[in-house]
Amino acid sequence: MLEEDGVAASRKNKTFWIWVGIGILVVVVVAAVALVKLARGTVIDANRIAKVTRGDVARSVVATGKIQPITQVEVKSKASGIVVKLLVDINSQVKKGQLLAQLDQEEIIAEVDAQRAQLASAQANVSTYEANIEQDKVNAAAPDLPMYKATRDRNLEMQKLGIVSNQALDDANRDYMAALTRRDAAHAQIAVDAARLKQAKAQVAQSQASLDQFEQQLSYTNIVAPMDGEILSRDVEIGDAVSSILVLGSTATQIMTEGDTTQVYVKGKVDEADIAHVYLGQPARIKVESFRGRTFIGNVTKISPMGVEADNVTTFEVRVSINNPGGELKSNMTANAEILLDEHKGVLTVPENAVIYDNQKNAYVQIPDRQQKDGMRKIPVTVGLSNGSVTEVVSGLKEGQQVVLQL
What is the rounded distance in angstroms from the CA atom of residue 365 to the CA atom of residue 402? 10
Query: What pLDDT is recorded for position 169?
Result: 64
- For 224-258, write each residue's pLDDT tens digit: 999 998 999 999 999 999 999 999 888 999 999 99
- For 42-62, write each residue's pLDDT tens digit: 577 888 899 999 999 988 888
Query: What pLDDT is recorded for position 13?
Result: 60
Q: Residue 121 domain-assigned?
A: yes
What is the rounded distance in angstroms from the CA atom of residue 41 to the CA atom of residue 373? 7
Q: Residue 256 domain-assigned?
A: no
| Backbone CA torsion sign across 90, 92, 97, 99 | negative
Residue 308 CB neighbours (<10 A): 11
Query: What pLDDT is recorded for position 216?
Result: 92
Q: Residue 259 domain-assigned?
A: no
Q: Which of 41, 49, 53 is nearest to 403 (CA)?
A: 49
What is the rounded distance in angstroms from the CA atom of residue 396 to the CA atom of residue 266? 41
Query: What pLDDT is recorded for position 3?
Result: 47
- For 271-296, write each residue's pLDDT tens digit: 888 888 889 999 999 999 888 888 99
218 close to 104: Cβ distance less than 8 angstroms: no
Rounded (5°) CA angle 45-50-56: 160
Residue 71 CB neighbours (<10 A): 16
Question: Exposed, middle or buried: residue 280 (CB in 10 Å: 0-12, 13-18, 19+)?
Answer: exposed
Q: Residue 241 domain-assigned?
A: no
- For 312-364, write each residue's pLDDT tens digit: 889 999 999 999 888 888 888 899 998 888 889 999 999 999 999 999 889 99
Q: Residue 82 domain-assigned?
A: no
Confidence of residue 32 (pLDDT cuts 50, 70, 90): low
Q: Residue 64 domain-assigned?
A: no
387 HSE (CA, 13 A, CB side)? 20
Q: Residue 329 domain-assigned?
A: no
Query: What pLDDT is recorded for position 145?
Result: 65
- For 99-141, write each residue's pLDDT tens digit: 999 999 999 999 999 999 999 999 998 898 888 777 777 766 6
Query: What pLDDT is recorded for position 7?
Result: 46
Q: Residue 11 domain-assigned?
A: no
Instruction: Specify the higher pLDDT residue, 240 or 188.
Output: 240
Range of the domain at 176: 105-220
| Backbone CA torsion sign across 116, 118, 122, 125 | positive
263, amino acid identity: Q
Q: What is the mean pLDDT of the chain?
A: 84
Domain count across the chain = 1
Question: Exposed, middle or buried: residue 203 (CB in 10 Å: 0-12, 13-18, 19+)?
Answer: middle
Confidence of residue 184 (pLDDT cuts 50, 70, 90): confident
